[in-house]
Amino acid sequence: MTYCVGLKIDRGLVFMSDTRTNAGVDSISIFRKMYTWEEPGERVLVMLAAGNLATTQAVVSLLDERSKAPAERSPSILQTPSMYQTARLVGNTVKEVIASSAPTGQNADAFGASFILGGQIKGTEPRLFLIYPEGNFIETSEDTPFFQIGETKYGKPILVRAYEPTMTFAETAKLLMVSFDSTVKSNLSVGLPLDFLYYERDSYKVGYRKRIGHDDPYYREISDGWSDALKSAFKRLPDFQE
Amino acid sequence: MTYCVGLKIDRGLVFMSDTRTNAGVDSISIFRKMYTWEEPGERVLVMLAAGNLATTQAVVSLLDERSKAPAERSPSILQTPSMYQTARLVGNTVKEVIASSAPTGQNADAFGASFILGGQIKGTEPRLFLIYPEGNFIETSEDTPFFQIGETKYGKPILVRAYEPTMTFAETAKLLMVSFDSTVKSNLSVGLPLDFLYYERDSYKVGYRKRIGHDDPYYREISDGWSDALKSAFKRLPDFQE
């Protein structure tokens, strides 16, 4: 499996993804699931991928290739006029890859993949989309300001409770680390290192990017600190009376 | 779906289950998923059920009926000599019901159900089992002292972190309410009221039993208090430094 989160805050967009892929528990590898396209001053696009690794890599390769030889397919991901058109382009590429993986009426579910796509194109607002294996997609709203893909359940309660649109990037980094740590502690199919990236609105360049490994001192501090904080928060809750 | 937890602590056994059943989101009902058999001074058995409601009700009805007319099937659930034999009896009944629901080689998955069975029979130790739709089962150990069935993921992180074998019953009530509240807040298919029960070892009677509704003041206090406690614990964690 996989765990990826994309968050929209007032200041911009924040992304985190794990790197574990597995085919069964005895075939584990590390693959980056965060992809970026950047034209400084013009556009920044960030994509997180979950699902069949062959599908997600094919989608990214096609998007990449076509941006380098735009004659082949126009507009490329570096030329789309809006984030909405970018999401459509990605969605169509996903459909194309999945259809060609299951050409003879095979069950396409095995080739499925979902994506979180966020970014900003000069002259438009930052936007964040969730793209389904069927190629259609939804966008964040005030009520649903973040998307998760992969093993989403363990890390959801803290996101639901602690997210605020006015958060700083440092606070969202903390929030995402807690959400990922809860997931990693509960599910073998999600694993470190993590990729973290944030984009500040109207900056048109990647603001910060870091790979967080097992030995990352801040991650360790959060992981241990959150266990202790939960235990003592729990202790302070009022006791049950029969 | 459903969410049920059975916990083994030094003092005995603790159980909690929700009551929501659904066939799609537009067909929601309330059903008890906690069943007890009690012979004061002799044995207490508690069973929690998740999965196909027709299957779980059939299993319970058969176990009940056969305990009232034991000639039909011996030993009945009130006569088994050990908790291990009780788990076998329940497992065989599950297999029997599922097999008769899918007689013509239909996919039996749709009729699946899982059970948590705990209790104590005079002269033996309290034991807690997880029974699979296939009828086989596993037992808790020191390393895995609790079982969850149904929508298990949202409520697992707090159980993993805050469970201690030396907990009191009041503390386990608090722990389970936090775990259930996290689940209810994240997933529509799990809903109040909750059934809570604990069994004190060597007492051979149900120790305490309560149905917890939306208006339960302690549940409200925990639900609100835990949100606040999480938020302030989160705030106190050290900030991320680039």
pLDDT per residue as tens digits for the range B94-129: 999 998 887 666 677 788 999 999 999 999 999 999
Q: Any bridge partners for residue B29, and if so which? A: B21
Give tens-digit pLDDT for A107-151: 777 889 999 999 999 999 999 999 999 999 999 999 999 999 999
Average of per-residue pLDDT across B149-162: 92
Question: Which residue of A162, A222, A227 is in closest CB contact with B230?
Answer: A162
- Its ipTM equals 0.82
* Assigned fold of B3-235: Glutamine Phosphoribosylpyrophosphate, subunit 1, domain 1 (3.60.20)
Residues of B contacting chain A (CB within 8 angstroms)? 151, 153-154, 156-158, 160-162, 169-171, 173-175, 177-178, 182, 185-187, 208, 210, 218, 221-222, 225-227, 229-234, 236-242
- Two tokens, residue A32: 């980056």
Distance from CA of B150 to the nearest CA of A (A): 13
Q: Which residues of A touch B173 (CB under 8 A)?
A: 240
Residue A1 clears pLDDT 90, i.e. is over it:
no
Which pLDDT tens digit goes with each residue over A187-229? 889 999 999 999 999 999 999 999 999 999 999 999 999 989 9
Residue among A156, A157, A231 minimizing CB distance to B161: A231
**What mean pLDDT is reported for chain A?**
93
What is the reported pLDDT for B227?
87
Closest chain A C-alpha to B35 CA, distance in angstroms: 21
Q: Among A92-101, A146-155, B19-28, B82-91, which stretch is predicted with the lowest mean pLDDT?
A: B19-28
Domain boundaries along the sequence of chain B: 3-235
Q: What does pLDDT average to over chain B?
A: 93
User: pLDDT (tens digit, 9 = 90+) per residue, A51-83?
Assistant: 999 999 999 999 999 988 766 667 899 999 999
Contacts of A160 in chain B (CB under 8 A): 185-186
pLDDT at B148: 97
> Which pLDDT score, from 0 to 100, does residue B73 have?
66
- Option in B177, B186, B239 nearest A157 (CB): B186
For residue range B38-63, what is the model confidence (pLDDT) as tens digits?
999 999 999 999 999 999 999 999 99
Residues of A in contact with B228 (CB under 8 A): none
CA of B225: which chain A residue's CA is closest? A237
Q: Please tell me the distance in Å from B111's CA to the nearest CA on chain A.
A: 23
- B182–A157 C-beta distance less than 8 A: yes
pLDDT over 70, % of chain A: 97
Q: Residue A103 pLDDT more than 80?
A: no
- Residue B229 phi/psi, 5-degree rounding, is -65, -40
Q: Token pair of B176, please?
A: 């389970």
Q: Report, at the CATH architecture level, how domain A3-228 is classified.
A: 4-Layer Sandwich (3.60)
Rounded Cα distance, B197 and B212, in Å:
11
Q: What is the DSSP letter of A23?
A: S
The predicted-structure confidence for B56-91, as pLDDT tens digits, reads as follows: 999 999 999 998 876 666 789 999 999 999 999 999
Asked whether the beta carbons of residue B222 and residue A237 sit closer than 8 angstroms, the reply is yes
Q: A154 CA to chain B: closest CA distance, Å?
A: 5
Q: Say which range, A11-15, A179-183, B69-73, B183-187, has the weakest mean pLDDT.
A: B69-73
In angstroms, what CA-CA distances link A102 with A57, A94, A216?
Answer: 16, 12, 41
In chain A, which residues have their Cβ closer than 8 Å to the Cβ of B16? Answer: none
Each residue's pLDDT tens digit, A161-194: 899 999 999 999 999 999 999 999 888 899 999 9
CB contact under 8 A, B239 and A154: no
Rounded distance between C-alpha atoms, residue A85 and residue A74, angstroms = 12
Helices H, strands E: what count in chain A? Answer: 5, 12
Measured CA to CA, the distance from residue A69 to residue A62 in angstroms comes to 10
Rounded to a whole number of angstroms, the distance from the CA of B148 to the nearest CA of chain A is 13
Interface test mutation site (partner B, options A144, A230, A231, max chain B beta carbons within 10 A): A230
- Residues near A96 by beta carbon (within 8 Å), at least 6 away in sequence: A62
For residue B11, name the pLDDT band (cuts at 50, 70, 90). very high
**A contacts of B223 (beta carbons < 8 Å):** none
Which residue bears the tokens 């659930």? B77
Query: In this complex, do A237 and B225 lie within 8 Å of one another by their Cβ atoms?
Result: yes
pLDDT score of B183 more than 80? yes
The single-letter DSSP state of residue A1 is -
